[in-house]
Amino acid sequence: MKTLDWLLRLALAGVFICAAILKIANPAAFHAAILTYRALPESLVPVLALWLPWVELCTGIALLWSNHRRAALWIVAALNIVFLAALAQAAWRGLDVVCGCFGRPASVRGAGYLEYLARDLAFLLVAAWLLRREPSSRQAERARND
C-alpha cells in the first residue's frame, strides 16, 4: 500500500511540475487560455497567469517532501476544485475555452468538457485519498518526537 501511495504522489507531483514548467515557458499562451473562461475581470488575468504556475511548481515539489506533504495535498485539492468550477461554469455558459493546462493549448468545446472534467476530478480524488492515508498531524508530531 505504501508503494502505491508513493507512486500516486510521484505521479501527482510529476503532473503538476510539468504543467507548471510549460506554463512558465509560455505565459502568453496561459494568459490567452484564462481569458477564454471569462470568469475574472481582465485586469486580474495577467496576475493569475504569472502567479499560478509557480504555486503549481512549489506544490508539486512539496508533495515529495514529507514535512509539507499534507499542506501540498490540500493545495492540490483546492486547485482542482477551482479548475473544476472554472470548467463547469464555462460548460454551463456554452463557452469555447482553451485548456491552458499543459502549455500547448487544446480547444475545449461540447463533449470535450467531459474529458477535462473527468481528469481534474481524478486528480481531486487522488489527493483526497492520499490525504486520508497521511498520518494526521498529531501522529506525525508524535512520530517525530519519538
Q: Which is nearer to other proteins, 1 or 51 (CB)?
A: 51
Binders of other proteins in range 83-112 (CB under 8 A): 103-107
| Residue 51 sits in the site that holds other proteins (CB under 8 A) | yes
Which residue's CB is nearer to other proteins, number 4 or number 142?
A: 142
Give buried/exposed letters for 47-83 (b at 16+ CB in 10 A, else e).
eebeebbeebbbbbebbbeeeebbebbebbbebbeeb
Q: Which residues pair with 97 in a beta bridge?
A: 108
* Selected binder of other proteins within 17, 49, 90, 124 (CB under 8 A): 49
Q: Which residue has the cell 470535450?
A: 112
- Which amino acid, one-letter code, is at 6? W
List all residues 6 or more positions away from 1 whose beta carbon is below 8 Å from its beta carbon.
133
Nearer to other proteins, 4 or 54 (CB): 54
Q: Which residues of the chain form contacts with other proteins (CB under 8 A)? A: 24, 26-29, 31-32, 35, 38, 42-43, 45-47, 49-51, 53-55, 57-59, 62, 67-68, 70-72, 74-75, 103-107, 137, 140-141
